[in-house]
Amino acid sequence: MMMREGSIALGDVPLHAGGVLPEARLVWKSFGTLNADHSNAVLYPTSYGAQHTDLEWLIKADGILDPTRWFVIQVNQFGNGLSTSPSHLIDPAPAFTVSHVDNVRAQERLLRESFGIERLALVYGWSMGAQQAYHWAVMYPDGVARIAAVCGTACTSEHNRLFLMSLESALLADPAWNGRTFADVPERGFHTFARIYASWAASQEFYRRREYLKQGYTDLDDYLARAWEPFYRKRDALDHLAMLRTWMRNDVGVVMDGDTRMALKSIRAKTLVMPSTTDLYFTVDDCAAEAALIPGSQFRPLHSWLGHRAGNPVNSAVDTLAIRRAVDELLAT
């Protein structure tokens, strides 16, 4: 199977919220071969904090995305440390305010200019990846045939925004924050950040079962210190702030004068809406309300005790199989 990696230089990119991303660049990786009529292209954008390598696990012959049949392109969202991010810029502080409109516009250019792809068979996304999938469906109705939105919403809910505010506050509370940038790595801030994130991203049931003991951790403290903190510490704190702000402003309505309902009703892509039944921030209720507005959408909850991470790496063969079946059926339509 063919794998390729590369990036596209986009020049100075005007941002939806105002301002310009200077010399912007998107980093990508592809799996498999684009067929002659370009009908087998699948886009797989990244989720919060993740780079494409963190998310490759589901691309394999018996995986959720099969690269022997589909040409799968992973694309890194702005702010994730690979595509253009505050940590790359000499002066990152002034308004690095990327919205998914900017991510998706740049992705459309990448596909067209680098691959000659005018229409995707599928955008598959988990979490912030699902947000980008929804934006694709609204912004490029002719550019995407199907979207699979796993554990994510088209518009960030008020309670989810509050979670993000608590994470942002955790970083900005660190002594290293000087009101403009971080003078040093925010050690204390990351400590709090990881604990907030861990409490929301897994379910109550996950902790009730103490599964981490079976995974070799000695107790909850050990699990947080070795499993959660390192994942977030891998990224620059300014990049975290950028990704949090993209998530906060996630709303497909912004391309229709703020009318989120109209944007959802405009979707023509075949849409799979797949929340986890124990997801605490992209709740079943929130996802169901959005699915009800999307014409012909399939609402198919994932019955999992893994919370938001039901759709995430290596957690559960059962969950992975359920997602694969749903995506297989979507791709067969």
Catalytic residues: 127, 279, 308
Is position 287 an interface residue for its own copies (rule: CB under 8 A)?
no
Is position 106 an interface residue for its own copies (rule: CB under 8 A)?
no
Q: Residue 67 or 301: which CB sits closer to its own copies?
A: 301
Q: Please pick, from the candidates 56, 102, 174, 239, the single residue that binds its own copies as defined by CB under 8 A.
A: 174
Is position 224 an interface residue for its own copies (rule: CB under 8 A)?
yes
Distance separating alpha carbons of residues 79 and 97, to the nearest angstrom: 10
* Closest separation in Å from C-beta 288 to its own copies: 12
Is position 286 an interface residue for its own copies (rule: CB under 8 A)?
yes
Q: Where are the alpha helices (DSSP H) in the chain?
A: 100-110, 128-139, 158-172, 187-201, 204-209, 211-214, 220-223, 229-233, 237-248, 260-265, 284-291, 317-332
Distance separating alpha carbons of residues 144 and 122, to the nearest angstrom: 6
Q: Residue 247 or 281: which CB sits closer to its own copies?
A: 281
Is position 227 an interface residue for its own copies (rule: CB under 8 A)?
no
Binding mask 126-165 for its own copies (x = CB under 8 A): -------------------------------xxx-xxx-x
Q: Whose structure tokens read 């919370």?
A: 307
Residues 255-284 that bind its own copies (CB under 8 A): 280-281, 283
DSSP-derived secondary structure letter, 21: E
Euclidean distance between the first and the last CA atom of the chain, given in angstroms as a whole number: 25
Binding mask 71-90 for its own copies (x = CB under 8 A): --------------------
* Closest separation in Å from C-beta 18 to its own copies: 21
Binding mask 192-211 for its own copies (x = CB under 8 A): x--xx-xxx-xxxxxxx-x-
Q: Residue 27 or 170: which CB sits closer to its own copies?
A: 170
Q: Please pick, from the candidates 191, 233, 261, 268, the single residue that binds its own copies as defined by CB under 8 A.
A: 191
* Closest separation in Å from C-beta 202 to its own copies: 8
- Strand arrangement, sheet containing 71-75: 3-14, 20-31, 71-75, 41-45, 122-126, 146-150, 270-274, 298-299
Q: Please pick, from the candidates 173, 183, 288, 292, the single residue that binds its own copies as defined by CB under 8 A.
A: 173
Q: Is 79 left (phi over 0), alpha (psi -120 to 50) or beta?
A: left
Q: Which residues contact 142 (CB under 8 A, 6 or more apart)?
A: 119
DSSP labels, 227-295: IIHHHHHTS-HHHHHHHHHHHHT-BGGGGGTT-HHHHHHT--SEEEEE-BTT-SSS-HHHHHHHHTTST
How many CB atoms lie under 10 A from the CB of residue 180?
A: 10
Count residues binding its own copies (CB under 8 A): 39
What are the residues binding its own copies (CB under 8 A)? 157-159, 161-163, 165-166, 169-170, 172-175, 177, 188-189, 191-192, 195-196, 198-200, 202-208, 210, 220, 224, 280-281, 283, 285-286
